[in-house]
Amino acid sequence: MIFEGKTILVTGGTGSMGKTFVHRVLMGELGVPKKVIVLSRDEAKQHDMRMSYLHKLVATDEVIFRNFMNVLQFRIGDVRSYEDVCSAIKDADIVVNAAALKQVPTCEYFPAQAVMTNCIGATNIVRAIEENGYPVQTVIAISTDKACKPINVMGMTKSIQERIFTAANVLIPDTRFICVRYGNVLASRGSVIPLFHDQIKNGGPVTVTVPDMTRFLLSLEQAVDTVFVALREAKRGETYVPDAPAATVLNIAKALIGKRKTEIKITGIRPGEKMHEIMVSEEEAHHTVKRGDYYAIRPMLPELSDKDSAESNALDKEFSSADTVLDYEGTVALLHDHNLLIEQGELILEGEELLR
């Protein structure tokens, strides 16, 4: 029960993944925490999140509501601010760094802003622990497949974030710094599925960049599962990666359109986009092991290497979204399993995000 009696700080806790993570923690499935601190800079999102707990809808929300009333704390602040980070982290046992600038085009046009959030924010967390001796047990960074062999600013800054936290294990041996890296989260805010839903609702066209472009896909719940597994199992400096399926962007669009007569418009690749994403690079494959449904990328720094490990390498090449692409029927089944195929006018709830 890794959260039992613990104080957990979630930076960027009002984002799609942060909200789902907090909800799962408050359910008590891995122990009832002492406190959950949400640090973010948007007061409106914090208000909406607070109201979502106050106005519980069904009896099964009772345990979450009770835990919310007792343990959930909201703090306005920014990971870019060292002072804000120190104030929030000083009593934390576990830190989940979900704060990020994650939109690829935004980061391309404002790279300095991406560096400040994704890199300086990570540095502030490490610096706060190192300079003040805060007794943080574990820090986990939420990364992305775009950090692997990055070609865009978002991926580059996330890749540096991974290195900042990996190296911190050498600087601060009493704290475990680990990462998770995953692909597109189905229906998360700003992702392609809500965009397609909105375009379909408004009669189209549905805009597809390149038909054969592939992307890894997993749900918000599976993203949180990855974080939970890494918190339980990952060794210092390791990065956990889910063995996730992939689909073409065209099949995703066709599956969501279904039998509607909605036009698909090909718009071309955007600045900073790859045709196929990579979750584990060819270089990383040589020190990657398989643990259940996840790959664990071992750190390259010799100070963190586990020379006595009996685990063997699980990959002999990079792990790409082009390797195991779902066909159309498989894509439909995946989206159906996550309640993302909707009839016209129907509303669904996914990770507390209302989608059309």
Phi, psi of 338 (to 5 degrees): -105, 20
Q: Of the residues 19, 102, 146, 158, which is catalytic?
A: 146
Say which residue the tokens 């996730």 belong to: 244
Q: Which of 144, 136, 133, 49 is nearest to 95 (CA)?
A: 136
Rounded Cα distance between 212 and 290, Å, is 28
* Contacts of 355 by beta carbon, 8 Å cutoff, 6+ apart: 187, 193, 194, 197, 340, 342, 347, 348, 349
Q: Tell me whether residue 146 is one of the annotated catalytic residues.
A: yes
Residues annotated as catalytic (active site), given as ranges: 146
